[in-house]
Copies of this chain bind each other. A is one copy, B any other.
Amino acid sequence: MVTIKEIAKLVNLSPTTVSNVIHGHKGKVSAENYKKINLALKDTNYISNMGGRLLGHHGSKIIAVILNFDRRAEVNIVSDPFYDQIIGFLEEEIRKQGYFMMLYTSGSVVESLRLAAAWDIEGLIILGSLPEDAKKFIQQQQRPLAFIDTYVDESFMKDGFINVGLQDFQGGYDITKYLISLGHRKIAFFADGDHLIGVDEKRFLGYKQALSEAGINFQQKDFFALDYRAEKRHAFLKEISQDQLKNYTALVFTSDFLAADAINVFYDNGIQIPRDFSITGFDHNIFSEQIRPKLTTIGQNVNQKAVLAVDYLVERIQSKHAGQKINILLETELIVQGSTAKIPETV
């Protein structure tokens, strides 16, 4: 690997001058030498050694993407397409912005911050963080952070805070309202796990709001928690489909994955959608399209999420000061497909 020193020798100039050319400081170098050095750089296929940069704290050019470990455990089970997709988009945008992406999975904030320190990482993108972890990140932050889909208290959104999320409340509200507009009044809600947090909680609150506005009384029994393990989940769905669910005409799921999964379980047990239930998903990813009937769902632009998060982060890295807090919630879109139907007029 060629070094600046070697290039300097080659063109009979000093390393500083070479460095100036590399950094495009045109004003500091004569046009003639500028050209000569640039040629030499190309000829020798010069690459700057990142060790040198790191050591002088001149910027590592690394952005780390931190994935919450618990989420990841599931990802490998269900292959959560949201995470998969967004990682691809993040990598693309990080690369386009001239940075390198380090991917790190950890359940521990401390571990993630150690990584950031060791590599002098310029900024972190944090995916799927629980609220309490987000707080820890914010409190111990040494460098710019951008969260994706994280809800924290206003009080934690100080200057420098960045979050790019989705109007989850609105999405939950819209899709529930749509069901109500079809005549449904007995609408159950299904989520991943017992304790609703983050995006699922907002979607749930939107659902409740829509019920309430329509004068429908929500009861705790209308909420169903699904196990992340396929077998348990399937057994549970089968069981309730023969019992509790008989009271409902529509089922709202917090994700396309869960909705599609449920449709299959129902199908296997002779239940037809939307004849027996109207069902809705959330995300508008591959699962809502690769199921029959296709899901009525809430669309989001995952690419945009990734690009915005990276761009805000990079801006903050380069401006070198905190800047105002940013908490963008992207708009959602109701996608009506075949999994929902009007309730038949009954007398």
Interface stretch of the complex, out of A20-28, A46-54, A126-134, A311-319: A46-54
A189 at the interface (CB under 8 A from B): no
**Are B290 and A287 in contact, with the CB atoms below 8 A?**
yes
Contacts of A287 in B (CB 8 A): 290
Contact B47 A114 (CB under 8 A): yes
Contacts A81-B81, A85-B76 given; indicate if A54 touches B47 (C-beta within 8 A).
no
Contact segment of A99-107, A220-228, A237-245, A325-333: A99-107
Q: Which of A20-59 contact B (CB under 8 A)?
A: 45, 47-56
Interface residues of A, dominant DSSP: helix
Question: In the bound complex, do residue B85 and residue A87 qualify as a contact, i.e. CB atoms below 8 Å apart?
Answer: no
Give Cα A42 to B267, complex, Å.
57
Q: Give chain B residues whose Cβ lies under 8 Å from the Cβ of A104.
A: 91, 95, 100-101
CB <8 Å contact, B100 and A76: no
Q: How far is the CA of A49 from the CA of B48 in the complex (A)?
A: 18
Contact B84 A118 (CB under 8 A): no
Contact A101 B103 (CB under 8 A): yes
Chain B residues closer than 8 Å to A79, beta-carbon distance: 81, 84-85, 285-286
Contact status A51-B49, CB under 8 Å = no
Flag if B78 contacts A286 (CB, 8 Å): yes
**Identical subunits present:** 2
State whether the Cβ of A182 lies closer than 8 Å to any Cβ in chain B: no
CB distance from A268 to the nearest CB of B (A): 8
Minimum CB–CB distance from A143 to chain B (whole Å) comes to 12
A55/B47 in contact, CB under 8 A: no
A261 to chain B, nearest CB (A): 7
Known: A79-B81, A264-B290. A50 touches B119 (CB 8 A): yes
Q: What is the distance, in angstroms, from A320's C-beta to the closest C-beta of chain B?
A: 19
| Residues in chain B near residue A303, CB distance under 8 A | 76
A117 at the binding interface (Cβ < 8 Å): yes
Contacts known (A79-B85, A81-B79, A290-B261); A91 close to B117, Cβ less than 8 A: no
A68 to chain B, nearest CB (A): 13
Instruction: Flag whether A1 is at the interface (Cβ < 8 A).
Output: yes
Instruction: Find chain B residues with CB under 8 A from A83 CB.
Output: 84
Please give, as numbers and ranges, the residues of chain B lying within 8 Å of A49 by CB-CB distance: 54-55, 118, 120
Q: How far is the CA of A117 from the CA of B101 in the complex (A)?
A: 16
Our pick among B1, B55, B101, B291 for the contact of A55 (Cβ within 8 Å) is B55
A-B contact pairs, 17 of them (CB 8 A): A1-B117, A47-B117, A49-B54, A50-B119, A50-B120, A51-B54, A51-B56, A76-B89, A76-B92, A76-B303, A79-B84, A83-B84, A91-B105, A101-B103, A103-B103, A290-B290, A290-B291
What is A's interface to B at a CB cutoff of 8 Å? 1, 45, 47-56, 60, 72, 75-76, 78-79, 81, 83-85, 87-89, 91-92, 95, 100-105, 114-115, 117-120, 260-261, 264, 267-268, 285-287, 290-292, 303
